[in-house]
Structure 1
Amino acid sequence: MTIIFLLIGISLLVALLFLGAFLWAVRSGQYEDDYTPSVRMLFDDENPE
């Protein structure tokens, strides 16, 4: 029974770490540019050889 409480605690800690990493990414501007990735493939230059 003790192992169940230990696993629940560890899983909550990991979930909070992922939530913190996601919030940090949002606040630091990782998801600001949503236009460029969709048109980057249209302007991809090929290297003529």
Structure 2
Amino acid sequence: MDVLAILIPVTLFLGLLGLGAFFWTLRKGQYEDPEGDARRILNDDYDDRPKRDDE
């Protein structure tokens, strides 16, 4: 039973931490255009990596 005194607060803290992270990503706009992101990853027209001299 002593273990529950440790596990319950730790579980509540981690749950609130995850919920806070979720609301933070909502506020930052991470989920605004999921369809565009899904299509953009399949498109090879634009490569934003810098070109090296040996390529």
Equivalent-residue separation in structure 1 for 2:27 and 2:38 (angstroms):
22
TM-score, structure 1 length as denominator? 0.73
Q: What amino acid does structure 2 have at the position aligned with 1:37?
A: D
- In the alignment, structure 1 segments of 5+ residues that lack a partner are none
Segments of 4+ moved more than 3 angstroms:
none
Alignment correspondent of 1:19:
19
Aligned residues: 46
Write the letter of the residue equivalent to 1:29.
G
**Distance in structure 1 (CA, Å) of the matches to 2:18 and 2:37:** 24
> TM-score if structure 2 supplies the norm length?
0.67
Matches within 5 A, 1:1-49: 1-40=1-40, 41=42, 43-45=43-45
**RCO comparison, higher one (Cα < 8 Å, 6+):** 1
Query: In percent, how many aligned pairs have the same letter?
Result: 47
